[in-house]
Structure 1
């Protein structure tokens, strides 16, 4: 039997992707679930963002998912202010210049962007719908993850990101998991949905106890 466990959560807004912080913030430990020792988040969603976040006590998953040769797709539902034009969609799809850490300009890689109807499964949040300000929902799928990349992309295109919800990583989907909900996934199924084939070595017991923060 594997010593590791794998979970997805629907991270609510205004919660950081950590169990420990020196700041007065909402933490993952506030979720109503008894996670095994050494559990931490794989990757990050910023405090204001919502949706799919992977938790595990297998620290090797980070390398397989984000540092492997094959990039993994991540899909987001994004609500932005005002109406997005076809010209702007094409700009987002083909690459747009954003400012990254260190102050350098960076042209984003091509990605998938389309206008969608408001996702019906998402609860409506305060000030989301205002009659005086139109808005657009986008579905964005990309394989890179610069710091605050999607927020910076839509800002560079002249729109403000009002809401950002990650809905899937490869075939691992958030589905109907409610905000704050937790779902455990069996190990083989976890790696199959993430389309990671070389996972068995990562599932072997690790010599280093615990798992440092990601």
Structure 2
């Protein structure tokens, strides 16, 4: 069987799996959306996860070695996120994030964090984030080498800046690029070759 590599822009409120599993539906008339509602390709599986309330790039593949090497923290492949947070983080808060935060007894690895000069160009989220006129928001770019459960949200909350919107824009050399929420594409020849070198 040929290996497949699919880049997908997971929208907000979509589960990072192909079936609902044990996840209760949003309501009796509104079942949870899953990857199968967007990607009509069989026998591919997500590399890692994005929370239901997070958006952005996912890689789907049937290549076990690539999946393992991108998922296992020992191989330290970067994942980059645009993160909208409440309030304006101080230099000290950004430094804390960069050096690592202790969350539930676990200390996160050092990561790259910078404040974006301008709000990134992203499609509107449906539903939009809550907006409070008295509380400013700022966008950060965070690049992590690990992916613990809800890690980015827990890190920003730990320094007093709750995450309002979270969009993964890159996994290793793979970029979200011009994909829109719900769209997918097959990896290019160059992207595939680099995945095989991981």
TM-score range, shorter chain: 0.7 to 0.9
Q: Which structure shows the bigger proportion of residues in helix conformation?
A: 2
1:60 to 36, 45, 65: 65
Q: Which residue of structure 2 lines up, in the alignment, with residue 18 of structure 1?
A: 17
Matches within 5 A, 1:168-183: 168-183=170-185
Provide the C-alpha distance between the structure 2 equivalents of 1:110 and 1:88, rounded to a whole number of angstroms. Answer: 13
- Farther off after superposition, 171-180 or 182-191: 182-191
Q: 2:74 & 2:85 partners in 1: Cα distance?
A: 32
- Could you say if the C-alpha distance between residues 148 and 69 of structure 1 is closer, same or farther in structure 2, counting changes exceeding 3 Å? closer
Query: What stretches of structure 2 of length at least 5 have no aligned partner?
Result: 26-31
The Cα offsets for residues 1-54 of structure 1, whole Å up to 9 and x where unpaired, read as x612110000001001101123322111111x421x211111100100000000
When normalised by structure 2's length, the TM-score is: 0.87
Q: Distance in 1 between matches of 2:86 and 2:188?
A: 39
SS at match of 1:60: helix
Is the contact made by 1:6 and 1:187 (CA closer than 8 Å) also made in structure 2?
Answer: no
- How many residue pairs get matched? 187
Structure 1 counterpart of 2:79, from 61, 74, 82: 74
Change (3 A) 1:128 1:38: same
Counterpart selection for 1:86 from 65, 88, 91: 91
Matches within 5 A, 1:1-214: 3-22=2-21, 23=23, 24=25, 25-31=32-38, 33-35=39-41, 37-67=42-72, 69-99=74-104, 105-116=105-116, 117-120=118-121, 122-125=122-125, 126-127=128-129, 129-186=131-188, 189-192=191-194, 194=195, 196-197=196-197
Q: SS of the counterpart of 1:87? A: helix
The secondary structure found in structure 1 opposite 2:75 is coil
Query: Which of 1 and 2 has greater Rg?
Result: 1
For the residue of structure 2 that corresponds to 1:80, the secondary structure is strand
The Cα shift of 1:189 comes to 2.7
Q: Deviations over 1:153-202 (max 9, x none)?
A: 0011111110110000121100110000101014663241x4x526xxxx
The residue aligned with 1:206 is none
Decide whether aligned partners of structure 1 residues 123 and 68 sit closer, same or farther in structure 2, where only a CA change above 3 A counts: closer
Which consecutive unaligned segments of at least 5 residues does structure 1 have? 100-104, 199-214
Structure 1 residues 88 and 9: alpha-carbon distance in aligned structure 2, compared to 1, 3 A threshold: same
